[in-house]
């Protein structure tokens, strides 16, 4: 009887730990975790110390996540480790393309699992790529695992930006 009890207690303990982990997951509508992540300046401009991407764009490594979230602009946060993920390489190429359109209005950050593992932990990201779009109020508006097409991200950013503009308009009308 005591063996059964111990087995059942062990199963319940594992289940409750798993349930806790699921509840902590970063979801659409939740506030994005704010943490200090490495920037290009932190590594003395040496891209190899911040990314495994062969063709990095310095604009993706200018801000620590906490500073980007505090900047009052939407953030595209890309979790990708091209050192072991071919799809990640393609994803980062797409991001570089869309940055041209939104570079004045949106901050783009790339997190590499080998170089900023604490960000993967904070967002509970397993595997990659993962894309998060976070609005200027630090609320996750979009979350997607796997490859994302340019048009999908463009539509998401257009939506997030238009909500932001409507909020600004309402604020001016009230004030």
CATH of the domain at 147: 3.40.30.10
In a domain, 84, yes or no: yes
DSSP label at residue 71: T
Is the pLDDT assigned to residue 120 strictly greater than 70? yes
Residue 5 lies in a domain: no
Q: What is the mean pLDDT of the chain?
A: 86
Give the rounded distance of the alpha carbon of 124 from its chain centre. 10
Per-residue pLDDT at 127: 87
Percent of the chain with pLDDT over 70: 80
- Per-residue pLDDT averaged across 19-31, rounded? 69
Is 142 domain-assigned? yes
Which residues make beta-bridge pairs with 132? 77, 143
Give the H or E element holding residue 124.
none
Handedness of CA 160, 165, 166, 168 (dihedral sign): positive
Mean pLDDT, rounded, for 102-112: 96
Q: Residue 141's pLDDT is what?
A: 97
User: Is the pLDDT score of 25 beyond 60?
Assistant: yes
Tokens of 115: 């170089």
Residue 134: name the closest of 63, 84, 85 by CA.
63
For residue 46, the model assigns a pLDDT of 97
Q: Considering the domain boundaries, does residue 76 fall inside one?
A: yes
- Confidence check: pLDDT of 105 > 70: yes
Nearest to 83 by CA among 43, 126, 50, 114: 114
Any domain includes 34? yes
Q: What percent of the chain has pLDDT over 90?
A: 75
Establish if 16 belongs to a structural domain. Answer: no
Determine the Cα–Cα distance for residues 6 and 66; give it in Å rounded to an integer: 44
Query: How many domains does the chain contain in total?
Result: 1
Q: Give the residue-averaged pLDDT of 122-149.
A: 95
Compute how many other C-beta atoms are within 10 angstroms of the C-beta atom of residue 74: 25
Band (pLDDT 50/70/90 cuts) for residue 2 is low
B/e letters for 109-130, b = 16+ CB within 10 Å, e = fewer, are bbbbbebbeebbebbebeebbb
Give mean pLDDT, residues 142-149: 95
Helix axis angle for 86-102 and 150-174, nearest 10°, is 40
pLDDT value for 136: 95
* pLDDT value at residue 15: 39
In a domain, 101, yes or no: yes
3-class DSSP state of 141: strand
Is pLDDT at 1 greater than 80 in this prediction? no
Domain extent, residue 77, equals 28-174
H/E element holding 82?
none
Question: What's the confidence (pLDDT) of residue 170?
Answer: 62
Q: Is residue 158 part of a domain?
A: yes
Indicate the pairing of strand 107-111 with strand 75-79: parallel
Answer yes or no: pTM beyond 0.85: no
pLDDT at 47: 96
Chain-centroid distance, C-alpha 59: 15
């Amino acid at each position: 009887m005591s063996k059964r009890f111990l087995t059942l207690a062990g199963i319940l303990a594992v289940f409750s730990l798993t349930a806790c982990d699921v509840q902590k997951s970063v979801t659409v509508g939740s506030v994005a975790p704010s943490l200090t992540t490495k920037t290009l300046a932190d590594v003395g401009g040496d891209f190899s110390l911040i990314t495994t991407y062969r063709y990095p764009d310095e604009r993706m490594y200018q801000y620590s996540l906490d500073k980007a979230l505090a900047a009052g602009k939407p953030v595209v946060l890309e979790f990708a480790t091209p050192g072991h993920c071919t799809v990640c390489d393609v994803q980062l190429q797409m991001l570089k393309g869309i940055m041209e359109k939104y570079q004045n209005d949106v901050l783009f950050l790339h997190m590499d699992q080998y170089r900023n593992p604490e960000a993967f932990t904070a967002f509970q990201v397993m595997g990659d790529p993962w894309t998060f779009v976070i609005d200027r109020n630090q609320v996750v508006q979009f979350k997607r695992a796997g490859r994302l097409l340019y048009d999908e991200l463009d539509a998401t950013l257009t939506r997030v930006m238009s909500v932001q503009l409507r909020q600004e308009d309402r604020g001016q009308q009230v004030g």
